Amino acid sequence: MFQSQTVIGQTLGTKNTAADQCIWPEDKLHTIPDWVYTSQSVYDREMERIFHGKTWNFVALEAEIPKSGDFKRSYVGATPVVVSRAEDGSINVFENRCAHRGAEFCRKNQGNTNEFVCPYHQWSYSLKGDLQGIPFKRGVNKEGGMPRDFKNADHGLKKLHVTTHHGVIFASYCDQVEPIEEYLTPEILEDFNVIFPGKPLRIVGYYRNELPCNWKMYHENLKDPYHATLLHSFLVVFGLLVAGNKSQMFVDTVHGRHGYMASAKSEDKYASVSEENKKEMRSYVDTMRLKDERFLNYVKEFDSPWSVTMQTIWPNLIVQREMNTLGVRQIIPNGPNSLIMQWTMFGYEDDSEETVRHRLRQGNLMGPAGFLGLEDNEAMKFVQEGVRRSTTDTSIIKLDANKVGTSDTLISEAAIRSMYEYYRKVMDI
């Protein structure tokens, strides 16, 4: 059993006792202890057990590094890595840490190069992360330098295992992680392949922002369709996700760690909401309209019953399909009380310019200032502030009680319960 050593908030005695011992409340299925979001030692354990453990972590799209010498900075958990395409076309992922003194040698987010050179002492590395050269390796005037038995081959960068699926790049610290198709599970893979059918992608833009909340809250937020019908006026009024529409919160049946929230948009541009449901949804406003109604145009382009799917791929990937805007979001933990979100918006190489403009137009739903993203960011900030500063020590997840996993109703927390069942096993708490 994992024993935590770090305590958040020294004045909150009852909360400290539980955090010290990592004691989950007695009703494990329907409660989440606050220390899951605030404890530094729990966070450190997550980096070891989850991100550096038996998982595949999203790091980039192949479309971002199409040519030899192309590279992108990325992360596995909080660990900075570099994703590069070598001369032979292979994709390599290695830690962004010089083997000499530990400097983060790659400082550009993206680019093209024939080698990586550390700015501190100019140690140079190949596109595969192998040590190539060291200034003054043999010293000066036969004095100093490296020992005679020093071998470059023994001092390359820390390399990760790499796999790809239909243009999506994953990396892992574990050499025993299952093939990516098994990792995703056939159920999740079916929807994943709708968005990534194997045809070339076209990158259309990026967002990047910091959220002052724990990284797991982002998974929870997208496994919580309940909030979407209440918090997001835009979704409700314009019929994108409404209680009563055909919808599903799906969870993989193998581990319960991956899932997707799905909904089918009605044919009407504006939602048809019953008087009974209106009373439950304070965010619903009958008079709200768009000046540019092209925003709501949904062009069916996939063989799927859903107009919206939001996939949560454990531990760091969100795959979004909101009508015709497509993107991936990479979760980068930044301590227990913060995360960095890297958004990559894309389409397909054969998209017309009109389609690209339409994807960009609908992209205003997303991102740190999007019609939906802004509200989610604020809500998660408020939750983190609450669990950090209160004297209460647990959160309640009793909606649709006792159910774990897939739900055909949006008014359920069954997917969140499933995630934490898996989390407790991996974390041994």
N-term to C-term CA, the chain: 6
**In percent, how much of the chain has pLDDT > 90?**
72
pLDDT at 12: 37
The pLDDT score that the predictor gives to residue 260 is: 96
Q: Pick from 331, 306, 416: which is nearest to 30 by CA?
A: 416
In the numeric block, the tokens 């993203």 are attached to 373
pLDDT of residue 288: 66
Cα separation, 18 vs 382, in Å, equals: 23
Q: Under DSSP, is residue 194 helix (H, G, I), strand (E, B) or coil?
A: helix
| Alpha-carbon gap, residue 175 to 170, rounded angstroms | 13
Looking at residue 405, its pLDDT comes to: 96
- Give backbone dihedrals phi and psi of 66, rounded to 5 degrees, phi first: -75, -30
Instruction: Dig out the tokens for 299 from the structure.
Output: 């062009």
Check residue 407 and give its pLDDT. Answer: 93
Closest among 62, 77, 109 to 207, alpha carbons compared: 109
Contacting residues for 357 by C-beta, under 8 A, at least 6 apart = none
Tens digits of residue pLDDT in 172-209: 999 999 999 999 999 999 999 999 999 999 999 999 99
The CA-CA-CA angle for residues 343, 346, 352, to 5°, reads: 155
Residue with the two structure tokens 């030692």: 41
Contact between residue 298 and residue 324 where contact means Cβ atoms under 8 Å apart: yes
pLDDT at residue number 139 = 87
Closest CA to 241 of 415, 371, 381, 384: 371
What is the 3-state composition of the chain as percent helix, strand, coil, each rounded to the nearest 5? 30, 25, 45
Compute the distance between CA of residue 219 and CA of residue 257 in angstroms, rounded to an integer. Answer: 10
- Inter-CA distances, 259 with 7, 187, 190, 222, 253, Å: 32, 9, 12, 9, 9
Cα(41)–Cα(3) distance, integer angstroms: 9
Report how far Cα 144 is from the mean position of its chain's Cα atoms.
47
Write down the pLDDT at residue 9: 36
What letter does residue 130 receive in the DSSP assignment?
-
Q: What is the tens place of the pLDDT at every residue in 290-303?
A: 777 788 888 999 99
Residue 133: left (phi > 0), alpha (psi -120 to 50), or beta?
A: beta
The predicted model scores a pTM of 0.89
How many degrees, rounded to 5, is the angle at CA 268 between CA 262 and CA 269? 90
Q: What is the mean pLDDT of each run of 10 residues along the chain (429 residues)?
A: 37 48 91 96 97 98 98 98 98 98 97 97 97 92 90 96 98 97 97 96 96 96 80 64 75 97 72 53 60 83 93 98 95 97 97 96 85 81 93 92 91 95 96
Query: Quick one: 217 exposed, middle or buried, by C-beta within 10 A (0-12, 13-18, 19+)?
Result: buried
Q: How far is CA 367 from CA 91, 263, 378, 392, 421, in A?
A: 28, 20, 13, 32, 30
pLDDT of residue 268: 55
Which of 135, 2, 7 lies closest to 393 in space, CA to CA?
7
Q: φ and ψ at 394, to 5 degrees? A: -145, 155
Predicted pLDDT at 1 = 43
User: What is the C-alpha separation between 257 and 315, in angstroms, rounded?
Assistant: 8
User: Phi first, then psi: what are they for 37, rounded to 5°?
Assistant: -100, -20
